[in-house]
Amino acid sequence: MPYEIRAIEPEQWADALRLWENVFGVGQWLFDSLHIGTVDRKWSHCGVAIDESGRIVSAVDLFMRQVRDESGSPVKVAAVGSVATLEEARKQGLSGQLLERALEQMRLDNCAWSHLFTGTHHHYRRYGWFDAPLKTRRGRFKRVPLPITGVRVLNDQEKDAFLSLMRQWWEADNVARPLTHVRTEQYWREAIRPRMGQGSIHQNREVVLVEQGGEPYGYAVIEKQDEKIRVLETGGDHRRALSGSASLYPGAEVVFDLPFDAPWDEAIQLVSDDVSEQPEPWSMARGLPSGLSDELVKAIFAAKGAHHWQLDNF
CATH number of 136-279: 3.40.630.30
* Pairing, β 205-212 against β 215-225: antiparallel
Strands laid side by side in the 134-141 sheet: 150-153, 205-212, 215-225, 228-236, 253-256, 134-141, 272-280
Residue 148 pLDDT level (bands cut at 50, 70, 90): low
**Residue-averaged pLDDT of the chain:** 95
Question: How many C-beta atoms surround the C-beta of residue 9 within 10 A?
Answer: 13
Say whether domain 4-133+282-312 belongs to CATH 3.90.650.10.
Answer: no
User: What local confidence, expressed as pLDDT, does residue 146 receive?
Assistant: 63
* pLDDT exceeds cutoff 70 at 237: yes
pLDDT tens digits for range 76-90? 999 999 999 999 999
Question: Do 4-133+282-312 and 136-279 show the same overall fold?
Answer: yes
* pLDDT exceeds cutoff 70 at 145: no
Percentage of residues in the chain having pLDDT higher than 90: 92
pTM, full prediction = 0.94
pLDDT tens digits for range 154-191? 999 999 999 999 999 999 999 999 999 999 999 999 99
The whole-angstrom separation of Cα 311 and Cα 166 is: 13
Residue 122 pLDDT level (bands cut at 50, 70, 90): very high
The domain spans of the chain are: 4-133+282-312, 136-279
Closest CA relative to residue 248, chosen from 267, 233, 273, 229:
229
Residue 214 pLDDT level (bands cut at 50, 70, 90): confident
The whole-angstrom separation of Cα 130 and Cα 224 is: 31
Query: How much is the average pLDDT of 193-201?
Result: 93
